[in-house]
Amino acid sequence: MTIPRSTSSPSKRDRGSLLAVCLIALSGAWGCATPSPGPVQIVEETPPERSDIIGKRRVVRASKEDTFPDIARRHDIGYLELLAANPGVDPWLPGTGHEILLPTDHLLPEVPRKGIVINVAEQRLYWFRGEQGVITHPIGAGREGYSTPLGITKIVRRKEHPTWTPGTSARRDDPTLPVVVKAGPENPLGDHALYLGWPSYLIHGTNEPDGVGRRVSRGCIRLYPEDISSLFETVPMGTPVRVIDNPVKVGWYGDDLVLEAHWTLDQATQVEETGEFKVVGDGDVVERIVKLAAQAEPPAKVDWGRVTAVLEARRGFPVRITGEPEPPRHAAAENPVANAAQAAGGAAETVRDAVTNAVWSFGRWLELDEPESDPASD
């Protein structure tokens, strides 16, 4: 799958000249959506039973000087999250007044909701605080060859203004590095660090915020400086940390099943390096959907055409996959495996209609309003 690239690239390091296009360009598909004032990062109460979504999807209009890294940090979103959600938009020159979809609604990961959960495929951290609700922030994770480890650990200590001792690989990449990098603007750990029970792995800030939401680290978890500062002050020592790799999430919102699909780690690397990503299989996703649908009474009726479209497009926000069927403009059948194969090999128009229907349906369902200019960019 090809993602055309921009010809302008005002990057620090290797931002690359990517133009965001996933499977299909859906110009105008979310024209009825709108931002609420200010970013939605915190839910002040535990999500209700059978409701696994936090936050609310929004739309803002870009200003003349905006780039995706600017918009992403302003709204606490990762760079690749914004790229995936806005196919067809030049990330370095969106254009004055262009509507930018903010994927600020998130389907909670399908793991025990306790402590910190880090989904490296989604490049997002969740902190479950019990009755105090959920906090979520974008992260930067390990790049190819330096994968962030998966499993369960905990926060063992914290350090303000940490020093950095470059390892063997860092010295191999840059032999001029000192033995110890002191705290300050040249320190890649930023001003705050939370140390994990795994030696040499940290949750920390950064001196290059544009790397948040991308695979750029040597395995550590990096956050925007303002996000790690907040966590640093409030996360207790001993907090459990679970690291998962789950690009596709399934859950409930009321009586509806919802599906959220992100690029895999390999696909994210492909997009960064070549502007393309290959469509891949999704393992047990069909089985997970069928199992959840069977829990409803009567069993939820899944729109498998919409499921296929969401998995192909990987826009990175929740989409309703049950409920009243959409008009018959896309493939849908009772056999999920056969239908998935048929829809994946169908005409581009069929898949485009399926994704358009899914976005419109979910947008109306969340009752989003008309987009406004981003207050922070006026």
* 199 confidence band (pLDDT: 50, 70, 90): confident
Domain identity same for 166 and 216: yes
* 123 confidence band (pLDDT: 50, 70, 90): very high
- Confirm whether 124 is domain-assigned: no
CA dihedral 166, 170, 171, 176 (to 10 degrees): -90
Domain identity same for 342 and 265: yes
What is the rounded average pLDDT for all residues in the chain?
75
- Confirm whether 13 is domain-assigned: no
- Confirm whether 23 is domain-assigned: no
According to the model, what pLDDT value does residue 280 have? 80
Domain identity same for 360 and 260: yes
Cα–Cα distance for residue pair 222/168, rounded to 1 Å: 20
- Confirm whether 234 is domain-assigned: yes
According to the model, what pLDDT value does residue 213 have? 84
According to the model, what pLDDT value does residue 37 have? 30
**Edge to edge, what strands does the sheet with 134-138 contain?**
42-43, 134-138, 124-128, 115-119, 240-244, 151-160, 192-196, 202-204, 221-222
Residue 251 in tokens: 């859950």
- Confirm whether 168 is domain-assigned: yes
Domain end among 220, 241, 262:
241
For residue 162, the enclosing domain spans: 141-241
Domain end among 209, 241, 273:
241
- By 3-state DSSP, what share of the chain in percent is helix, strand and coil, each rounded to 5? 25, 25, 50
Task: Say if residue 227's pLDDT is above 90.
Answer: yes
Domain identity same for 236 and 294: no
- Confirm whether 189 is domain-assigned: yes
pLDDT tens column, 308-341: 999 999 999 999 999 764 443 322 223 333 333 3
Domain identity same for 188 and 277: no
Domain identity same for 191 and 254: no
Domain identity same for 231 and 262: no
What is the reported pTM?
0.75
To the nearest 10 degrees (0 to 180), the angle between helices 336-344 and 304-313 is 50
- Confirm whether 352 is domain-assigned: yes
pLDDT tens column, 271-311: 877 777 788 877 789 999 999 999 988 899 999 999 999 99
Query: Which CATH number belongs to the domain containing residue 218 in this structure?
Result: 2.40.440.10
Domain identity same for 223 and 148: yes
Domain identity same for 310 and 282: yes
- Confirm whether 11 is domain-assigned: no
Count of structural domains within the chain = 2
Domain identity same for 194 and 214: yes
Domain identity same for 261 and 237: no
Domain end among 216, 241, 266:
241
Residues marked as catalytic: 204, 220
Domain identity same for 220 and 252: no
